[in-house]
Amino acid sequence: MLPLFDCFPSLRNRLPHVPLGTFPTPVTEAPQLARILGVNELYIKADGFSSQPFGGNKVRKLEFILGDVLARGEREVMTFGMAGSNHALATAVHAEKLGITSISMLAPQPNAHYVRHNLLLGLNSGARFRYYPGLQRMKKRAPYLRFWRRITRGRAPYLIPPGGSSPLGVLGFVNAALELHQQVQQGVMPEPDIIYLPFGTAGTFIGLLIGIILAGLKSRIVPVRVVEPEFTPSGYAAGLFAETAALLRSYAPSINIPDPESAELEPREGLLGQGYAHFTPQGQAAVALARESGNIALDGTYTGKAFAALAADARMGMLKKQTVLFWNTLNAHDFSPLIRDTDYKRLPAALHGYFEGDVQPLDR
């Protein structure tokens, strides 16, 4: 049973939802990392194990979004991301399981090994790729493509926003916070003082924030910016908070979610480096530390930068007395056996460059 439905039974038969993974995800302690960094207690929430063959944070959002797709009788979705998008891949993998076709509208990003792997698994999952040389071009072309589908197939694809951060998708993380609350009540970990996580399209952050308010947890969240402010400018997360709160109230009018201070809705700056998916020395040092001292796999685009913020705060002595939770949003399953025999030449030619060109220096 979903913790969200446990807490608010009136939502149970009204909200669309399709199970796609294994929950609750594990919480583990990382005592050696805590000692090295100077954190009182450090725990990891391993959302990487949320589903097979591709887990990570997007599964939680897709349970509500694809539930809605099924409830509406739609058979085709269209979503958006950069070439190596975990979200576009998760959408393709989980849509395919449900017999839903996905169109991935992709735009350029710095090259990395994971971009290649994600493209190949997407290909094997039946994703239809469209690649545009820039975001602006992609945004302009998407309506024409939808219109064309409507003419030729009688129906336009269901749109899933970048990162799956529609209010419905955000509910996946409202539920995740209630799941954490249950784990705290069961003694899996003490109530965290601070939770660190990456801030991309803000859905993970805003869902957890709303869930923490509803659960009455005291935890403060530090969302670490990993995308350019052009995508999620100041006030963006506040808008998503308001929309998601309104969605919940529309189903259950008794749910009361007081608005946080607007400063609490802004991400931590300073870890982004040159931009989205540009690995940074600080981020890569955090990836190496987590691997060597915690046996935890992080990445250069999202989780490494978020963990670098945690490490920086710890080294300044700010976490000496704190119970800290790192919310690991990264897929943890090795899917390389599934793509070993996949030929990248079956991808649209415009994407071959990711396989023929070099990866960025910090990913070598």
Ligand X SMILES: *Cc1c(COP(=O)(O)O)cnc(C)c1O
Summarize as ranges the residues that interact with ligand X (CB under 6 A).
56-57, 86-87, 163, 165, 198-205, 302-303, 329-330
User: Cα–Cα distance between 199 and 269 in angstroms, integer?
Assistant: 10
Q: Least distance to ligand X from the beta carbon of 198, Å?
A: 4
User: Cα–Cα distance between 87 and 158 in angstroms, integer?
Assistant: 15
3-state DSSP helix/strand/coil % of the chain, to nearest 5: 50, 15, 40
Q: Least distance to ligand X from the beta carbon of 1, Å?
A: 24
224 φ, ψ (degrees, to nearest 5): -100, 120
Q: Least distance to ligand X from the beta carbon of 36, Å?
A: 23
Q: Least distance to ligand X from the beta carbon of 210, Å?
A: 13
Is the Cβ of residue 188 or residue 297 nearer to ligand X in the bound state?
297
Is the Cβ of residue 110 or residue 163 nearer to ligand X in the bound state?
163
Q: Least distance to ligand X from the beta carbon of 39, Å?
A: 21
Q: Least distance to ligand X from the beta carbon of 148, Å?
A: 28
Whether 328 contacts 44, CB under 8 Å: yes
Is the Cβ of residue 15 or residue 202 nearer to ligand X in the bound state?
202
DSSP letter at 224 equals: E
Matching residue, tokens 């009455």: 216
Task: Give the Å distances, CA to CA, from 63 to 84, 205, 275, 279, 295.
Answer: 21, 17, 30, 30, 29
Task: Give the Å distances, CA to CA, from 167 to 80, 145, 281.
Answer: 16, 24, 34
Q: Least distance to ligand X from the beta carbon of 352, Å?
A: 24
User: Cα–Cα distance between 49 and 44 in angstroms, integer?
Assistant: 12
As a residue count, the chain comes to 364
Q: Least distance to ligand X from the beta carbon of 12, Å?
A: 25
Is the Cβ of residue 9 or residue 275 nearer to ligand X in the bound state?
275
| Residue 12: alpha-carbon gap to chain centroid | 24
What is the CB-side half-sphere exposure of residue 339 using CA atoms within 13 A?
A: 22
Whether 306 contacts 267, CB under 8 Å: no
Is the Cβ of residue 4 or residue 202 nearer to ligand X in the bound state?
202
Is the Cβ of residue 203 or residue 294 nearer to ligand X in the bound state?
203
Checking phi first, is residue 46 left (phi over 0); if not, alpha (psi -120 to 50) or beta? beta
Is the Cβ of residue 36 or residue 247 nearer to ligand X in the bound state?
247
What is the helix (H) or strand (E) element at residue 223, kind and residue range? strand 220-225
Query: Cβ-closest residue to ligand X?
Result: 200
Is the Cβ of residue 247 or residue 252 nearer to ligand X in the bound state?
247
What is the helix (H) or strand (E) element at residue 78, kind and residue range? strand 76-82
User: Cα–Cα distance between 363 and 351 in angstroms, integer?
Assistant: 19
Q: Least distance to ligand X from the beta carbon of 273, Å?
A: 16
Is the Cβ of residue 219 or residue 232 nearer to ligand X in the bound state?
232
User: Cα–Cα distance between 109 and 115 in angstroms, integer?
Assistant: 9
